Amino acid sequence: MLKRFVFLSSLLFIVCICATSVKAQRFLGAVSLGMNLTQVDGDEFFGFYKVGLNVGPMINVPLGKNRNWSVSMELLYSQKGSKHNGSSDSTSYKLVQDYAEVPVLVHFTDKKLISGGVGFSYGQLVNYKETKNNVYDSIYFYQTGLSNHEISVIADLQIRLFSKLWANLRYQYSLFSNRTVLVKDPFAYPRTEVTRYQYNNVVSIRLTWVFNQEKISKSPKKNSSVETF
């Protein structure tokens, strides 16, 4: 799966580069690089303490008369999970999830400077590692295994810094539970059992470089096209 992702990512990146030679600029090629701040809702821990990588190429297709609307598709390597640093090794916990993701979003760009988008993403789990201790083995009882597939909803905000560089803030949340866990508190009396449904909760901070996007013109010519993102 990882080799397939590398191949597809390289192929999409080549398409992005080739887009720079398309005079009509019917689509834009870009690449994004940044980080994920993540937590897993339902694991009894709170805080976006797990930091991961978010990187990959993108194709963007402008739409409409003024090309303010656009549709984008990405192929990302995205790291998610959860992290808790306790006072000792007996209270530490870490879950690392590596995904190959394909987000598809619809954007609206205003004055070539700010863009908002919404959409969905399909993720394929390519690797995961969970580090816990005996204390958690007596508290957590996994009713289902970690799902290999994820569908999530995305809200996206982008601001143009200069020329072809954009700053990107993205929020992403799982639509369906990735795992079901039965939580038992051995210190509570009477002992209670609660079923938790786990969801990935992600905030992404990225920079995006658009290869074939025109510079902002202070006095654009009449009937000139407007580049969107």
pLDDT digits (tens, 9 = 90+) for 64-91: 778 889 999 999 999 999 998 876 555 6
The position carrying tokens 């701040």 is 37
Give the distance, in angstroms, between the CA of residue 177 and the centroid of all CA atoms in the same chain: 17
pLDDT digits (tens, 9 = 90+) for 168-177: 999 999 999 9
pTM of the full predicted structure? Answer: 0.82
Q: What's the pLDDT score for residue 91?
A: 67
Contact at 8 Å (CB) between 103 and 120? yes
pLDDT digits (tens, 9 = 90+) for 115-162: 999 999 999 999 999 887 766 766 778 888 899 999 999 999 999 998
- Which CATH architecture is the domain 2-16+31-132+146-174+198-210 placed in? Beta Barrel (2.40)
**CA dist 105 → 117, 119, 168, 200 (Å):** 6, 4, 13, 19
Contact at 8 Å (CB) between 36 and 22? no
Tell me the DSSP string of 201-215. Answer: EEEEEEEEEETTPPP
Report the percent of the chain where pLDDT is more than 90.
52
Domain ranges of the chain: 2-16+31-132+146-174+198-210
